[in-house]
């Protein structure tokens, strides 16, 4: 089983530049209920270190690059997001960590649900218990 679903986002462009439009339930396989972005992450700082019970997310590095470590409780895979036309879809119970942010990194996240703290699993041991039931 592959943990990642990298999809090339449709780029529309000409000599003036490029544009990528994303529509919920069309380009992205869910309704978009929350959008946020991570930027200004200091060198050597890692983020994430959690899983979600139900949330689906599409991660896009709109500037710079970073590594996303994905762990399904049985195998791990690292994806380098480095282009605004590359999306990483994360669905299901997957532990995620974000590492190696470039100085100019802006990581955009489109989420299927509103923020809900009860959807988070923040302890890795608890996460492993849930994935190995």
CATH number of the domain within which 58 lies: 2.60.120.10
Decide if 87 is inside a domain: yes
Strand 106-111 and strand 34-39: the pairing is: antiparallel
Q: In this predicted structure, what is the pLDDT of residue 2? A: 46
Q: Domain limits at 127?
A: 33-131
Residues with active-site annotation: 50
What is the reported pTM? Answer: 0.90
Q: How far apart are CA 6 and CA 3, in angstroms?
A: 10
Given a contact cutoff of 8 angstroms between Cβ atoms, the answer to whether 101 and 41 are in contact is yes
Q: Give the model confidence (pLDDT) of 79-116 as tens digits.
A: 999 999 999 999 989 999 999 999 999 999 999 999 99
In the chain, the number of structural domains is 1
Decide if 91 is inside a domain: yes
């Amino acid at each position: 089983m592959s943990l990642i679903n990298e999809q090339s986002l449709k780029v529309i462009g000409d000599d003036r530049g490029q544009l990528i439009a994303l529509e919920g339930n069309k380009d992205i396989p869910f309704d978009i209920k929350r959008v946020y972005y991570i930027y200004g992450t200091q060198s050597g700082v890692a983020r994430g270190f959690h899983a979600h019970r139900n949330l689906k997310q599409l991660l896009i590095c709109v500037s710079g690059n970073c590594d996303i470590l994905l762990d399904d409780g049985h195998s791990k895979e690292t994806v380098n997001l480095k282009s605004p036309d590359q999306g990483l879809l994360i669905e299901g119970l997957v532990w995620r960590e974000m590492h190696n942010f470039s100085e100019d990194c802006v990581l955009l996240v489109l989420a299927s649900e509103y923020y809900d703290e009860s959807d988070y699993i923040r302890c890795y041991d608890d996460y492993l218990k849930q994935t190995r039931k």
